[in-house]
Structure 1
């Protein structure tokens, strides 16, 4: 939850929606307003079933598939696995993504017994404590001009990342509770000021070379719906979790990175997406030249969701 919550459909033959969970938070005022609307009457209409849940602990690295997850104000969580709560930064604090270093997608992540484990081709597994020593420095991190904080994970982690990417020096930092977060409204203006992030089918029928759903970094994958049906899902209920649709997800060159090879394609799938997925004139300022695909959601009410849960839209 791309960070907000992200939703995606699955498999063209059955229909699928991809909840691209990016930023997530529940504001009290928003919750009260939604509660009042429901008191006035609201119908639950089933639109699909949760078929997959994915958490991306380290921004731009491989995701972890889980059967159950907690939807928190900062996205999905399963034990020590927290969505996008670690990130790689440059020496000057700028956050790194696979747009600059495509091979980041080859880094696999697990959490066991209080340790974050990173593995990658040709590298020994790195294990660092989830709870970073408080004596480690706090870094000021930024992306799109929006600032956040993270505690440095140490020289061993920095050397491991730098060696694997074989590039300039990088550092790994960890977001901790109560640290300064990024507000997605700063770079995605259709979000609310209260939404936060720690660090953010039909298409295949049109492509000569098929792509995997992991190219789009979804958090919640939904089956049993038509392609792009999620464009009409304004408010959703999954178990006790309530999600408020913010905007379709603008797709950038990250989608051109092959998650299996770490190589960036020169054109697809963006070329095909741009040929038929368009935003409305009123949304042009938010999407610019990026085609919309999947949806981003804010979290109205937190809770537990799991694979197999029915997904309902709320109609008033």
Structure 2
């Protein structure tokens, strides 16, 4: 029996996540307290997005949702609070930012916020917020023509991983004398227990109440799994161990862990850790 064993929500792209007991599964990603997953993003002075790939200390920027603000903490920094209410569209400054090769219109947060992030990361940068009028469509190449959208995630609104898949990787790491890794190295939104290792790769769907989640594309991994999310320090890269059996020919040999997924039916579904998940393999 498949079980939802973990929910993790990332208000700011590539910063620390928030472990949740429950969330709302929407067609654009997870939502908690009216805040969406990857609703904010850090960009450099040219508007290009920043991630832990180049700036692993971003892992140490820890968000917390409060009643009316998003509280942010980082080592050696005073805490920062950002208003959760959307700015007035006629007065809020706007920026066109770059996410991969895609320009995206976004709200520009204020200079105090920019200075805080610049000091925390160690490079001039700004925080931007996804504009609610923007529809950022996912590629239909992997969705079978099904339209879907996301905010500032790399490409798809939900990342799913199986608990047994991490167990498999960790068994192989321990076999060569390496330490086991926590799931947060791979930064999934939803972790599914009670299924076999890497069965999420072959799932036809995952059913959460009235909402159907369809895995559509293997998640090609970058160097971020080498970053200790508790310290922001890169260590041994697990991808070297995964190379022999997790390279996907359909992605030109990219090493994959987890599946990008979209909502194909329903949405706005309250999901809770421990609930049973409908799970069906595609063969």
TM-score (norm 2): 0.87
Matching of residue 297 in structure 1 with residue 267 in structure 2: no
**Contact persistence 1:230–1:294 (CA under 8 A):** yes
* Larger relative contact order (CA 8 Å, sep ≥ 6): 1
Q: Aligned to 1:68, which of 22, 28, 35?
A: 22
Misfit runs of 4+, over 3 Å: none
Greater fraction strand: 2
- Structure 2: how far apart are the matches of 1:252 and 1:71? 26
Aligned to 1:24: none
Aligned to 2:164: none
Matching of residue 179 in structure 1 with residue 145 in structure 2: no
Alignment CA distance shift 1:143-1:315 (3 Å): closer
Determine helix, strand or coil for the equivalent of 1:291: strand
Matches within 5 A, 1:111-260: 111-134=65-88, 135-167=91-123, 169-181=124-136, 183-185=137-139, 189-191=141-143, 192=145, 194-200=147-153, 201-207=167-173, 208-260=178-230
- Structure 1: how far apart are the matches of 2:29 and 2:225? 21
- Structure 2: how far apart are the matches of 1:216 and 1:107? 17
- Structure 2: how far apart are the matches of 1:111 and 1:212? 23
**Contact persistence 1:240–1:304 (CA under 8 A):** no
1:250 Cα offset (Å): 0.9
- Structure 2: how far apart are the matches of 1:233 and 1:53? 19
Structure 2 residues not aligned, in runs of 5+: 154-166
Matching of residue 93 in structure 1 with residue 62 in structure 2: no
- Structure 2: how far apart are the matches of 1:160 and 1:212? 29
**Contact persistence 2:57–2:121 (CA under 8 A):** yes
- Structure 2: how far apart are the matches of 1:197 and 1:277? 26
Aligned to 2:243: 274
Matching of residue 312 in structure 1 with residue 278 in structure 2: yes
- Structure 1: how far apart are the matches of 2:171 and 2:56? 25
The superposition leaves residues 82-123 of structure 1 with CA deviations (integer Å, 9 ceiling, x where unpaired) of: 200000011211111111111001111011122111101111
1:132 Cα offset (Å): 4.4
Alignment CA distance shift 1:289-1:184 (3 Å): farther
How many pairs were matched up?
260
TM-score (norm 1): 0.78
Determine helix, strand or coil for the equivalent of 1:234: strand
RMSD of aligned C-alpha atoms?
A: 1.8
Determine helix, strand or coil for the equivalent of 2:244: helix
**Contact persistence 1:52–1:65 (CA under 8 A):** yes
**Contact persistence 1:80–1:114 (CA under 8 A):** no
Aligned to 2:2: 48
**Contact persistence 1:233–1:245 (CA under 8 A):** yes
- Structure 2: how far apart are the matches of 1:193 and 1:289? 25
Aligned to 1:36: none
- Structure 2: how far apart are the matches of 1:263 and 1:193? 39
